[in-house]
Amino acid sequence: MRFLKFIIILIVPNILFSQKYWTLQECVDRALEMNISIKQSELDYAGSEIEKKGAIGSFLPNVNVSSSHSWNIGLNQNITTGILENVTTQFSSMNLNLNVNIYSGLQNIKRLHRANLSILARQYQLEDMTENVALLVANSYLQILFSKENLAVQDLQLNLTKDELSRIKDLVNSGVIPKGDLYEIEANLASQQKNFIDAKNAYYLSKISLAQLLLIDDFQNFEIANETYDIPISEVMTKTPEEIFNYAVTNKKEIKIFETNLEIAKKDLEISKALLKPTLSAFYSYSSRIGYSDRLVPSDEIEFTPIGVVEGTGERVVAPYNKMKIASPLSFSDQFDLNDGQNFGLSLSIPILNNFARRNNVSQTQINIMRSENILLQRKLDLENTVNQSYNDADGAFKAYQASLKLVEARELAFNYAKDKFDVGAMNAFDFTQAKQRYELSQSELIRTKYDYIFKLKVLEFYFGAPLSIN
């Protein structure tokens, strides 16, 4: 038991306080799961599926069953006494109606085609939204990496400056450099402390930005994976902007959305024209009714009633008839069969004049087609411009990164040279601080150009269909 308690004491704190480090893929998966815009697109897709079910249902006949039961209270003739009395009578009725659309200008088929196009458009919209959210997450993730590396550089420079200050104090005390140089180094230390605080705040804000994008409330404990990312080697830079654009215009969901919207507009025109054609439908109905009141029926007793006299003799002429008696209502099944009826036939409707509404609808859908064609053309032009801009941005960012590498090497050599001169008193503190600051700025610029190039490269790869990765 003591050994078990010891194990629990060692393991439980590690479980309770273990830190979650989010990888890029985990962040993307989380965003795709929680993003509200994606959920809206999923609902739009579900709505288009329902629209298709409605289009399929239009091929089926309309079948309706109705039933009613009524009470008639008021002055009616009593069939027993023949006297008008306040009585209550009850009736039930049942109806079955069926209507089948035989021909309506092929509207049902065209509406089904439109519903399928609508599903396809919603699917493209969902996929496009997913790709855009993933790219947005990658940008935020790279911003954290940049802020994190920049913070590490500022922390290193701050510690170096503290060590430099301690060493310079010794040089001042030994008389190698004047005391005024010490004040310059202390001022530089204060500047380094400010830069460190700014870098720390930028790092914290970049984490908040990504955490909010992922709908994570615990900003304080949100951390990304501790990985090192180098400049990626991408095949996309070997392609020309024309090749990238040709791929994007053929495969990108953004363009496919507008191409599908154009097809939907054309299908709307076909449906509008179908409304100008005659419609033929068949109908059938069946009905019956039930009464619950007593009834008069012939009895077995025969009576005679005079109907005239014999001419000449004056003898009465009588006719026999069955004496009536009161009987209870027939059974439900008997009345249902006796009182039933059927009605069926064909109905033809030919549109002649409908206040120009249907013809105006045709004209409006033709305008919508032209509008969709213009939007699609503009989107393609925008995409071509975006691809060219992204290619130039990525190429320029890579050149800026290469220039920053050379600048860091040059600034480092200049700083080391200045440091050697300063250590022997051949350079004052102001010039030494300037050389040090230029070196520090070149390091920060190198980090900035590195992640600027990575992101712009990812944007270019996005248009070429490359999988999202920053390794």
Whether 368 shows a pLDDT value over 90: the answer reads: yes
Q: What is the pLDDT of residue 470?
A: 62
Which pair of tokens denotes residue 471? 């390794």
Contact 115, 45 (CB under 8 A): no
For the beta carbon of residue 27, count every other beta carbon within 10 angstroms.
23
Whether 4 shows a pLDDT value over 60: the answer reads: no
Whether 87 shows a pLDDT value over 80: the answer reads: no
Identify which has the larger pLDDT, 227 or 418.
Answer: 418
Q: What is the pLDDT of residue 7?
A: 44
Contact 189, 162 (CB under 8 A): yes
The correct answer on CATH 1.10.10.10 for the domain covering 19-60+104-277+351-463 is no
Q: How confident is the model at residue 98 (pLDDT cuts 50, 70, 90)?
A: very high
Which pair of tokens denotes residue 453? 């190039």
Whether 465 shows a pLDDT value over 50: the answer reads: yes
> What does the pLDDT look like over 201-251, one tens digit per residue?
999 999 999 999 998 888 788 888 877 667 777 788 888 999 999 999 999
Every domain range in the chain assigned CATH 1.20.1600.10 = 19-60+104-277+351-463
For the beta carbon of residue 356, count every other beta carbon within 10 angstroms.
9
Contacts 24+ apart (CB under 8 A), 186-193: 187/433, 188/161, 188/433, 188/436, 188/437, 189/158, 189/161, 189/162, 189/165, 191/437, 192/154, 192/157, 192/158, 192/161, 193/158
Q: What is the pLDDT of residue 12?
A: 43
Whether 358 shows a pLDDT value over 60: the answer reads: yes
pTM of the model: 0.75
Q: What is the pLDDT of residue 425?
A: 74
DSSP H or E segment with residue 335: helix 332-338
Q: What is the pLDDT of residue 427?
A: 80
Q: Comparing 84-88, 152-156, 182-186, 258-262, which segment has the lowest mean pLDDT?
A: 84-88
Identify which has the larger pLDDT, 105 or 198.
Answer: 198
Apex 312 CA angle, 311 and 317, nearest 5: 45
> What does the pLDDT look like over 264-312, one tens digit per residue?
999 999 999 998 899 999 999 999 988 887 777 788 888 888 888 888 7
Identify which has the larger pLDDT, 17 or 205.
Answer: 205
> What does the pLDDT look like over 377-400, one tens digit per residue?
999 999 999 999 999 999 999 999
Q: What is the pLDDT of residue 467?
A: 74
Q: Mean pLDDT, to the nearest integer, of 158-174? A: 80
Beta strands 316-327 and 295-309, pairing class: antiparallel
Contacts of 296 (CB under 8 A, 6+ apart): 79, 324, 325, 326, 327
Query: What is the C-alpha radius of gyration for the chain, rounded to an integer number of angstroms?
Result: 45
